[in-house]
């Protein structure tokens, strides 16, 4: 097992000294990640058998079993073999869908491995103009692309929130206000002359039109039964 303290030197050291190419490879001892190459110091391990795994995107992983003896610092040299190219795609803002050779591989930020050769890449996000490009994958090399997708024009974007249409002329409040005032004026113009011409009738038959002068001035009529 991996002991919690790092190797501090000394003749009785028990552990592993690892050298690896290339750098920035992840190191796992007995299934536990212990760091990334180059390691700052040897690893202190208990005596016995241990498993080691060294990996890096674009390279075949190194997996082996080694034995540590008490009082012995075991040395191990690892050279990873490149087998594929690596594509890393990032996009500003929202996560976008990434397709390589027509196959969906994930959302940004994404990292994927591809055989050496030419590959078509397409990055899509609903409501945005897609980006398409071609890469030439080389084993062991990383290609990085950072994209800024452009939003589609509003008239072409089915996902954009569209403003409600302007109201029709007959839906505007002032149209009905003017209409109401007009109807009131017409009604007053009809009722007042009738009331004036039948003043005697109103006084004798119904208790209405008590104040014709008020009706004329305020353009209103009060009827009480």
Place of tokens 């940004």: 108
Closest by alpha carbon to 110, among 98, 123, 126, 125?
98
pLDDT digits (tens, 9 = 90+) for 136-171: 999 999 999 999 999 888 766 666 666 666 766 556
Outline where 114-219 has alpha helix (H): 173-197, 199-205, 212-218
For the cut 70, the answer to whether the pLDDT of residue 5 exceeds it is no
DSSP, res 102 = T
Task: Name the token pair of 57.
Answer: 């995107």
| Phi and psi torsions of 151, nearest 5° | -70, 140
Q: Which tokens go with 79? A: 């050279």
Please name the CATH architecture into which domain 15-81 falls.
Sandwich (2.60)
Strand (E) or helix (H) holding 6: none
Task: Specify the pLDDT at position 132.
Answer: 96
CA distance 138 to 142: 8
Read off the pLDDT of residues 31-69 as tens digits, 9 standing for 90 and up: 999 999 999 999 999 999 999 999 999 999 999 999 999
**pTM assigned to the model:** 0.63
The answer to whether domain 15-81 and domain 85-156 are alike in fold is: yes
What are the two backbone dihedrals, phi and then psi, of residue 178, each rounded to the nearest 5 degrees? Answer: -65, -40
pLDDT for res 138: 97
> Domain spans of the chain?
15-81, 85-156, 169-218
CATH of domain 85-156: 2.60.40.1120
């Amino acid at each position: 097992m991996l002991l919690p303290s790092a190797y501090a030197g000394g003749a009785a050291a028990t552990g592993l000294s690892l050298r690896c190419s290339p750098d920035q490879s992840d190191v796992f001892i007995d299934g536990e990640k212990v760091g990334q190459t180059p390691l700052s110091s040897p690893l202190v391990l208990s005596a016995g058998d241990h498993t080691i795994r060294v990996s890096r995107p674009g390279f075949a992983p190194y997996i082996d079993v080694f034995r540590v003896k008490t009082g012995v610092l075991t040395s191990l040299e690892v050279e990873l073999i490149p087998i594929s190219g690596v594509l890393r795609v990032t996009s500003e803002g929202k996560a976008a869908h990434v397709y390589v050779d027509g196959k969906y591989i994930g959302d940004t930020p994404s990292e994927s491995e591809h055989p050496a050769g030419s590959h078509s890449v397409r990055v899509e996000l609903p409501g945005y103009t897609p980006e398409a490009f071609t890469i030439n994958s080389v084993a062991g090399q990383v290609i990085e692309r950072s994209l800024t997708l452009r939003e589609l024009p509003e008239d072409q974007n089915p996902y954009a929130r569209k403003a409600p249409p302007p109201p029709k002329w007959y839906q505007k409040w002032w149209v009905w206000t003017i209409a109401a005032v007009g109807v009131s004026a017409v009604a007053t113009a009809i009722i007042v002359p009738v009331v004036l011409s039948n003043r005697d009738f109103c006084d004798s038959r119904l208790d209405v039109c008590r104040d014709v002068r008020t009706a004329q001035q305020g353009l209103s009529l009060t009827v009480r039964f």
